[in-house]
Chain A
Amino acid sequence: MASGDTLSARERADIERAVRIAEQLSGLSFSVYVGPAEAPARAYAEGLHAELVAPARSVLVMVDPGQRQLEIVTGTEARRFLHDTDCQLVVLAMRSAFADGDLVGGLVSGVQQLGDHARHPRTVHTDEP
């Protein structure tokens, strides 16, 4: 058993794959941050989200394993496809996985669920100006 503060190469690959699949499914941009968060966690997560390349179309999942804190932040455009109630459901699922001690498994399935919820049909006419 290692010191318990780093992810293995395989765990990183699993999370990266989940993020890629979620982006392909939803057309949104997904980011996952695992690390220490300053209090208050919600404000810190929104600050990280605002620093992303395209915040409006981005979904940020922030996990602080030390403080046992989890935040999902959706941008203005992403929020149209990924409603807050969907995020709450995913938070519930992720929390139960984390409580069972499965950090990576919870993250992977949480990101997959977010991508699945944000899936939307390509509209032909309404997106055009």
Chain B
Amino acid sequence: MIGRALPRVLVVGSLATVGAVGSAGVALAGTPDTWTKETPMPMLEVLGIYAGIPIGLFALITLLVLTPSLIRGSRVQPGVSWSGQPEWFGDRPDAEQSAEADRTEQSTGGPEGTTGTGRGGAGGQW
């Protein structure tokens, strides 16, 4: 069995090697002399294609991303001092009930929590 298979493998292997070398020879061959010679592309055109088009696409995409926020134009800029009146949304402090509510808070507050009142949350600066 092995005696018949070995020559077959050798034949196939040698054929493959010849094919590979042959095709490499074709790939390495230069442009035939009979072909008309193209003049080299001007540097400006090369830069236009390989640099101009990507940069243009970057600019277009950036513009498309920024346009909605530019149109919306949030007037409040963080860092600008807030000279207007404080704004409340949702429930706001009630002067009459605050004292009673605070006492309730103190009484229901468990031992857990950093401030001793059981309040939680998080905070930070930007």
Contacts and interface: CB of A to CB of B under 8 A. Distances in A.
B102 A50 contact: yes
Interface centre among A49, A50, A70, A98 (most CB of B within 10 A): A50
B86 interface: yes
A64 B82 contact: yes
Interface residues of B, number: 45
Interface residues of A, number: 73
B16 to A, nearest CB: 58
B122 A56 contact: no
B126 interface: yes
Contacts, number: 193
Q: Is the interface of A mostly helix, strand, loop or mixed?
A: mixed
Nearest to B86: A35
Contact of B79 (A60, A68, A84): A68
B83 interface: yes
Given A5-B76, A5-B82, A29 B119 contact: no
A6 to B, nearest CB: 5
Contacts of B124: 70, 91-92, 95
B38 interface: no
Interface of A: 1-8, 11-12, 15-16, 19-20, 23, 29-36, 41-42, 45-46, 48-56, 58-60, 64-79, 82-84, 87-88, 90-92, 94-96, 98-99, 101-105
